[in-house]
Structures are given as C-alpha cells and as structure tokens.
Structure 1
C-alpha cells in the first residue's frame, strides 16, 4: 500500500531536510495562502520494512541562480501575487555534506 503525505517547505534558499521512504516521489507542490508557505505532496510506500532516507529540498524564487546539479521538481504559484516558488531537490552528495 501507499499514501500521499503533505510536507511544509521553508524558503526561499533554506535547506529542507525531510526523511522519506525509499521510492517516494513528489507528486505536487502548492503555495498555500492561508499558511504563507510552499507545501509538497509526496507519494510514499507504507510498508514498515521499507527504510527511510533523508532528502534535501530547496524553494527558489524566479530569477535566482540554482546549482546545475539540482533537480527541478515543480513550481508553486501565489494566486494573489506575482511570486513563483520553484522546488528543487539537491543531489545526495550535498545531503551528505550538510550532515557533516
């Protein structure tokens, strides 16, 4: 079985370290006006034996530079403003560096 979970991302340019089950995939991002924050929805397996692993996400504003090795996931728009928030995942190597 699997389920979709919701996670809040701090940003912009803040490292968001989230432990997700192996095989988890981001299915949506959205800027929630009531929370004034970007959230991601993640499809995750529910089996207890599947290990979790930390992953590193960043929220980046339009026009801001992003390292070449970051993986673009989705864009969340503020429906009442001009802002666009782009969600990227940092490579595993950066995750290991940020833990040190």
Structure 2
C-alpha cells in the first residue's frame, strides 16, 4: 500500500529537510494562496519496514541561480501574482552532516569511540 502526504516548503536560500520513506516520489507542487507558501505532495510506501531518509528541497524564484547539480522537481505558480516558485532537490552529498553520517555507517570504529551503546558509565564504577 501507499499514501500521499503534504509538506510545506519555505522559499529562500536554505534548503528544507524532510524525513521521507525510501522509494518515495514527489507527485505535485502548488502555491497555496491562504498560506502564502509552496507545498509538495509526496507518494510514500506504507510499510512498517520502510526506512526513513533525509531529503532536502530548495524553492527558488524565477531567475534565481541554483547549482547545476540541483535536480528540478516541479514549479508552483501564484495564481494571483506574477511569481513562480521552482522546487529543486538538493543532492544528498550536499546535505549538512552527510559526510559524518556516511563515515559512521562505513566505519565501525566510531562505535568504539562513542562506547558500546550500554551507557556512558563504566561498569567498574557501579556497585
């Protein structure tokens, strides 16, 4: 089974991070006049085992430059104004902390630096 969820995106230079199920896809974007905001609708699987992944989106105005590697998703138009809002997905490699997360997944030695997950206190100090 699958479902569609609605998410608000803020226009501006900073990307918006959404935690979405792997295998999801953006199916629509729209400028909602009463909210004065851009929304996207995302189709996601309804599986309890579906893993979440952070995805970032940026809304740019017409004529505003974005990096070449940003992937165009859709355009939302203001029906009562001259503005168009273009939704781009930021590549995963450019997400803040992506290198730290990827290093942690690749390097099990980080677990040794942080402890074994049983707590921060030494068993020798407990009675």
Q: Tell me the TM-score range normalised by the shorter chain.
A: over 0.9
Q: From the two aligned structures, give the one with the greater strand fraction.
A: 1
- Across the aligned residues of Structure 1 and Structure 2, the Cα RMSD in angstroms comes to 0.9
Structure number with greater CO (CA < 8 Å, separation at least 6) is 1
Q: Counterpart in 2 of 1:12?
A: 12
Q: Counterpart in 1 of 2:59?
A: 59
Residues 24-54 of structure 1: CA deviation (Å, up to 9, x unaligned):
0000000000100000000000101010000
Q: Counterpart in 2 of 1:86?
A: 86
Q: How many Å separate the matches in 2 of 1:41 and 1:80?
A: 21
Structure 2 unaligned regions, length at least 5: 101-127
* Alignment length (residue pairs): 98
Structure 1 unaligned regions, length at least 5: none
TM-score (norm 1): 0.95
Shift of 1:15: 1.2
Runs ≥4 residues deviating over 2 A: none
TM-score (norm 2): 0.75
Q: Counterpart in 1 of 2:113?
A: none
Q: Counterpart in 2 of 1:44?
A: 44
Shift of 1:56: 0.5
